[in-house]
Amino acid sequence: MPSNPSVSERLQKVPASPIRKLVPFADAAKKEGITVYHLNIGDPDIKTPDVMVDVLRNWDRNPIGYANSKGEAELLESLKRYYHGAGFPFIETKDIQVTVGGSEAISWAMYATCEPGDEIIVFEPFYTNYNTYAVVNGVTLVPVLTTAENGFHMPPKAEIEKKITPRTKAILICTPNNPTGTVYTKEEITMLVEISKEHGLFLLSDEVYREYAYDGKKQTSLMSYMQEIPDRAIMLDSLSKRYSACGIRIGTLVSLNPDVMAGVLRIGQGRLSAGLVDQAIAARLTEVPASYLTGVYEEYAKRRDVLYEGLKAIPGVVIPKPEGAFYTIVGLPVTDAEHFCQWLLTDFRDKNETVMVAPAAGFYATPGRGKNEVRIAYVLNTDAIARSIEILRKALTAYAKG
């Protein structure tokens, strides 16, 4: 009898998400009647705009067929208007590819720029699912360390250039940053553009949180440099967080490089299309009132302040003030944050409540980094965040006592 076939080695190398790997423990706690405050995942509790939800209420197309592989014309026009309004009037619909969430855009950008075994420079800690996409595409992520001491901003140019090898094909950034909340300065982005020019590298910029930069800071988009480096710049985007619509799974890949755009369209044709209903909902983005985004921005800023002030008052906690997005990396007075995160779900209760946060080691590529850190997503209302801080304070005290 022949032996059973084994799954591929590369499949086994795909890492579990630190954001979701503890979900079974959270589910078990809920079955016991425990309230779990979810600060582990960027799934906001803010309502999706009514004009988008109305598409579902009024849907009358039957059958629900395939959509256009590049993106429905109505959505592409809406996206073009959005990017023009953001200050980039040169973006045309030919420069936009609709994807199934920002996740697909990131994966396609890796595939478009790298051969198997090639390298992409990233700044760690970074969005953990970059690890997943890298493994799936046969790409090696080469980390450049950033630390809480300077708010997770970039090191000098020479330190980045040390990581460049003959196999380096691209640099990937996220600004405002998930998981650190850092908003890279114009000088930092300009430095990367210079490196791109001098070393012939692609620049990939994940800009899902564009609207959320606090304390007077402004996001510097790679689109500001697209006409300067048209063949090298690829911007990755999503509607999930901007419109609190994670479930519609619509993202974009934007580039002025015709070869990149033709290639990702061919991939898009192979997977047929993003959802027709999803695209119809997303196409209403130009009808969302400006007051919606203003209100969401102000709400996240309030949540940021409550989280920051509350956590920095806990002895042993290290938290730089988040500059944007709705995440932060927090250092805890523990030696094994993953064990602590699991313990919160399995062993600790305060008034029949507990908190779920994400262990940060999975946001690093360097082994051993992030062992005493967690990522917190401040996606709950301020009362829930204040209560979560109270629970964490009591939990850390109890955990230290063993």
The one-letter amino acid code at 194 reads E
DSSP letters for 229-251: STTTEEEEEESTTTTT-GGG--E
Sheet holding 358-359, edge to edge: 327-331, 373-377, 358-359
Q: Tell me the per-residue pLDDT of 115-155, one tens digit each, with 9 for 90 and over.
A: 999 999 999 999 999 999 999 999 999 999 999 999 999 99
How many CB atoms are located within 10 Å of the residue 223 CB? 23
273-295 burial: b if 16+ Cβ within 10 Å, else e: bbbbebbbbbbbbeebeeebeee
Phi-psi region of 100 (alpha: psi -120 to 50; beta: other; left: phi over 0): beta
pLDDT for 137: 97
User: Averaged over 322-335, what is the pLDDT?
Assistant: 98
β 119-124/168-174 pair status: parallel
User: Averaged over 340-361, what is the pLDDT?
Assistant: 97
Four-residue CA torsion sign, 66, 284, 286, 127:
negative
Q: Tell me the per-residue pLDDT of 219-266, one tens digit each, with 9 for 90 and over.
A: 999 999 999 999 999 999 999 999 999 999 999 999 999 999 999 999
Q: Give the whole-number percent of the chain exceeding pLDDT 70.
A: 100
Sheet holding 251-255, edge to edge: 96-99, 251-255, 233-238, 202-206, 168-174, 119-124, 140-145
Domains of the chain: 9-47+290-401 (3.90.1150.10), 50-287 (3.40.640.10)
Q: Tell me the per-residue pLDDT of 264-296, one tens digit each, with 9 for 90 and over.
A: 999 999 999 999 999 999 999 999 999 999 999
Q: Tell me the per-residue pLDDT of 145-200, one tens digit each, with 9 for 90 and over.
A: 999 999 999 999 999 999 999 999 999 999 999 999 999 999 999 999 999 999 99
Helix spans in 256-318 (H): 258-270, 276-282, 290-312
Q: Is the pLDDT of residue 358 over 80?
A: yes
1 pLDDT band, cuts 50/70/90, is: low
Q: Tell me the per-residue pLDDT of 25-47, one tens digit each, with 9 for 90 and over.
A: 999 999 999 999 999 999 999 99
CA distance 386 to 382: 6
Which two three-digit tokens encode residue 36? 């779990």
Four-residue CA torsion sign, 383, 389, 394, 395:
positive
Query: How does the average pLDDT of the chain come out, rounded?
Result: 97
CA distance 269 to 402: 56
How far is CA 61 from its chain centroid? 33
Whether the ω angle into residue 15 lies within 30 degrees of 0, i.e. cis, is no
CA distance 261 to 93: 11
Strand-pair partners of 328: 376
How far is CA 19 from its chain centroid? 11
21 pLDDT band, cuts 50/70/90, is: confident
